[in-house]
Structure 1
Amino acid sequence: MNTESTGGVPPRANQTVADLGVTAVAAAIRRGEITSESYSAALLENAREHSDLNAFITIDESAVLGAARAADEARAQGSTAPLLGVPFGIKDSYATAGLRTTLGVKSLDAFVPQHDAEIVGLIKAAGGIVFGKNNLVEMSWGLTGDNSGYGQVSGCCRSDLEGRPSNGSLDRVIAAGRGHEGRHLTLLCRQGLGMSPPFTARL
């Protein structure tokens, strides 16, 4: 996989572009050291490779790459938006315009909002792009992250560990960068938006 500048972050052995955190990747994209498209493509490859985690309900790969290319074009035209081209995993309880939002409920499987949730709109306004919709317990209420319709979120380091309450898959997506006892694993997505009852947002 392609390796790129880490924007001053000390490199780790076998570090790839997908290993960059939000601060480093945002700065690298703004400086033109990497492209949003290459970073997003690397994350999509990781998501396919680790689909057994069941961390996402929906990923529209063509939309992700299209948004990434648009961000790269915006940078070329002089945009310095703080999150320009940075992909975010969005918990599937937040509305995303043009991308289905299920709340983890099968009866909403075909629901595609026409508008973004306010906080999703703020992320996009800052240049961020929607990477995918993270799995969750139905309606965000539960103790284990289990979902009868879309399946249980698996532990990122041990398959016998379940996802944590409500934000289980979002935790797994971000935590997938660290293996059991410090062993490094491939990252799915470094950035995410979630919430826990009673409706506290977390980035």
Structure 2
Amino acid sequence: MLWNDGVMTVFAKRAAKADGRKTTLPRSFANLLQATWQALRIPSSDFPKHVPSFKTPAEKIADALNDLEKGRAATIFQLRTGHCPLNDYRQRFKKSPMKYCRTCGVPENVPHFLLYCRNYRPQRAAFRKRVKAEKLRTNLFAANAMLDDPMVFPFLADFVLETGRFEHLRSYLPDPELDPKG
């Protein structure tokens, strides 16, 4: 931490507001530093609750998403950020009457959708079977691991499409009868 006039002003204002008789200086420099960091610390309640931590560089993720069809890439991106049409997110904006999964009765968030929901067991089993057939070394029992591996994205997009949970996804896909390639 750089000590500058702004930091000292903050400490001076805090000291002026506090009753000087009740506070004592720490006995050692280490204790002083610890007390300073405690005073500057942001309460954990101010941080978002579900912040995923991904290790794959953003460039690799962007390249993998560019290789996918637009709707599938958007869906993977939504799952990675948590901003997706699942009840836990939609309920924040009053777009869903409840944040719970209709089948399981627990908050319907990304990990629940990808790993636990009983409603999508057959699709999940087929997804895991396809990923294992490709011999990808991804932990299929951790949502962050699946969402952090670009090689899994096509299979994950197929899983989401098969579940039918993301209604908007079908509107992006080309109609096979109208598609001249297919």
TM-score (norm 1): 0.23
Which structure shows the bigger proportion of residues in helix conformation?
2
Task: Flag the structure with higher strand content.
Answer: 1
Query: TM-score normalized by structure 2?
Result: 0.25
